[in-house]
Amino acid sequence: MKLVLLGKPMSGKGTQARMLTKELNLSHISTGDLLREEVKKNSGLGKEAKEYMNKGVLVPDELIIRMLEKNLPEDYILDGFPRTIKQAEALDKVSKLDLVIDIDCSDKIIVKRTVMRQMCRKCGAIYGLDIKPVTEDQCDSCDGELYKRDDDNEETIKKRLEVYNNQTAPLINYYKDKGIYVEVNGEEPIANIKKNILSKIESVK
Ligand code: AMP
């Protein structure tokens, strides 16, 4: 299966993608995670991407498309890609999507979640408003150190929401026109969202 999770930053794409990956035995491809790996390695791509990421704007299409094409398996859940019409067109050239699932949330809840979010340095697990770690600043599953992403602050999230509305929201009509777009309410409890996504997937199997 070839799935795309669409949604504003902090809509819960990463959390859902991780759970669905296990359930459906698909590869989880997060362009944000791939970029953060490059930043950590301090590679050429990482150095270039870091500036855009810290400003809350999108990395140029050419860079991200090249990186994705190198990392695209046969079956996948894409999280954070495509984010522009140009990226969607590039994906259409190499793959035929089964479903695009939009996790819908208000801007207000997005800002609140951002300020609360922490991630595990070791395994990438996500904590925040809904899931709090048992021990402060420590991952429940691998004991890794929890940290805040550089771009998880109020100023940057507001910029990222503006970028989403201008550059990514047009994908909604792009995929509606193709008849592969569905929406779920992203403000429900995490388990409900997962259940709703699975039932949408079931309906196209
Ligand atoms: P994410 O972890 O998906 O929220 O992505 C973090 C940051 O990485 C974004 O704010 C962008 O700067 C960059 N990024 C991730 N995916 C893409 C993409 N598909 N196109 C452009 N920039 C991206």
Tens of pLDDT along 15-64? Answer: 899 999 988 999 999 999 999 999 999 999 999 999 999 888 999 999 99
Nearest C-alpha to atom 5 of ligand 1 is from which residue?
Answer: 32
pLDDT, position 179: 97
CA-only gyration radius of the chain, Å: 16
Question: Is the model more confident about 23 or about 179?
Answer: 179
**Is this model's pTM higher than 0.85 or not?**
yes
59 Cβ below 6 A of ligand 1: yes
| Contacts of residue 88, Cβ cutoff 8 Å, sequence gap at least 6 | 82, 171, 174, 175
pLDDT on residue 132:
92
DSSP string, 67-98: HHHHT--SSEEEES---SHHHHHHHHHH---S
Q: In what order do the strands lie in the sheet with 181-185?
A: 27-30, 76-79, 2-6, 99-104, 181-185
- Could you tell me the distance, in angstroms and rounded to a whole number, from the CA of residue 85 to the centre of ligand 1? 14
Q: Please say if the pLDDT value at position 129 is more than 90.
A: no
Pocket mutation for ligand 1, best pick of 31, 33, 84 (most atoms within 8 Å of C-beta) = 31
**Residue 110: CB within 6 Å of ligand 1?**
no
Q: Measured in angstroms, how far is the CA atom of residue 89 from the centroid of ligand 1? A: 17
Residue 149, pLDDT score = 85
> Is 32 touching ligand 1 by the criterion CB < 6 Å?
yes
Please tell me the residue having the least CA distance from ligand 1 atom 1. Answer: 32
